[in-house]
Chain A
Amino acid sequence: MYLNQFLLLSAVLFAIGVYGVLARRNGVLVLMSIELILNAVNINLVAFAAFRESIPGEVFALFVIAVAAAEVGVGLAMILLLYRNRRNIDLTEIDLMKG
């Protein structure tokens, strides 16, 4: 197995995630796309850990998973609050602080 096949898969998933974050207007879907991006990063970390036959890459992937779980909890709480206050989760309409 080449290292590059994993890195390229991860790059493609990352780009798809970026498209999701930029194009979609539903807040929950944007959070899901962020999860996709974090997963692409994890594949990179684990691929390099296997390439260098070292453990720290895998440990960092575990940390990323933990931080992603925390991020989803807070993010969904914020979207829930947004929905409760405005009956809408369209991210393009959240422009209160727009200059």
Chain B
Amino acid sequence: MNVYAEMTGLDPLTSGEVVVAQNIAFGLIAIIMIFSALRMVTTRNVVHAALYLVIVLAGAAAIFILLGAEFVGVTQVLVYIGAIVVLFLFGIMLTRGAFGGINLEEKAEQRKMSILVAGLLAVVTGGALINTFSDAEIARSSPSTTATVGDSIFSQFIIPFEAVSVLLLAALIGAIVVARKD
């Protein structure tokens, strides 16, 4: 329990000190994530790109936990960092991106247009967001528990959940059929 919050009778999750700590944590995570994402899309070495992707994904998990969505954060670590990145590393090794010299330089003209498009996109979405949500504040009083998320999945979202199961099965079979040798 936060001593300052107890003394002043404030809710410890919304008192000043905690908010400051949350903002500092957010700033650090955001800077690390943006730097790693930039390195990921610009680095020459594909294996390094996959490792920078790990940092971005871990940062996203930290953001989820900061927002009080603990189950999403844990799932992010399990599925993305645990499984998808390993899949990417296998893909890189099987296509010899790391060792056999598939090292594709982007064309200067293509890069220029891409920077233009991505920059415009960031400016337009950023401007719209600042215009719309300039004073919306997140006042979460307690984190959402895994039990409530599970209840929601298995009552309100049971049909989408089953659809996702079938989609995963279809993707599994599809991947095997596509990649099979014969």
Contact = CB atoms under 8 A, between A and B. Distances in A.
Interface residues on A, range: 35 or more
Interface in A23-71: 23-29, 31-33, 35-36, 39, 42-43, 46-47, 49-51, 53, 55-56, 58-59, 61-63, 65-71
Contact of B133 (A4, A71, A76): A4
Interface in B46-71: 46, 49-50, 53, 56-57, 60, 63-64, 66-69, 71
B72 A43 contact: no
Interface residues of B, number: 88
Contacts of B104: 24-26, 90
Given A1-B22, A72-B87, A83 B94 contact: yes
A15 B121 contact: yes
B37 A22 contact: no
B129 A8 contact: yes
Given A16-B38, A36-B56, A23 B149 contact: no
Q: Is the interface of B mostly helix, strand, loop or mixed?
A: helix
A44 B28 CA distance: 18
Contacts of B170: 70
B9 interface: no
Best-surrounded residue of B49, B60, B71, B140 (most CB of chain A within 10 A): B60
A15 B118 contact: yes
Contact of B178 (A5, A47, A78): A78
A81 B72 contact: no
B37 A32 contact: no
Contacts of B30: 5, 9
A3 B117 contact: no
Contacts of A39: 56-57, 60, 80
B114 A13 contact: no
24 contacts: A1-B23, A2-B137, A3-B137, A3-B138, A4-B130, A11-B122, A16-B40, A19-B41, A23-B115, A25-B106, A29-B46, A32-B50, A32-B53, A36-B37, A36-B41, A49-B67, A49-B144, A50-B138, A58-B72, A59-B149, A67-B164, A74-B175, A76-B88, A79-B91
Q: In the A-B complex, list the 4 residue pairs whose CB atoms are closest, starting with the nearest.
A: A70-B171, A20-B41, A15-B122, A23-B114
Interface of A: 1-9, 11-20, 22-29, 31-33, 35-36, 39, 42-43, 46-47, 49-51, 53, 55-56, 58-59, 61-63, 65-74, 76-81, 83-84, 88-90, 92
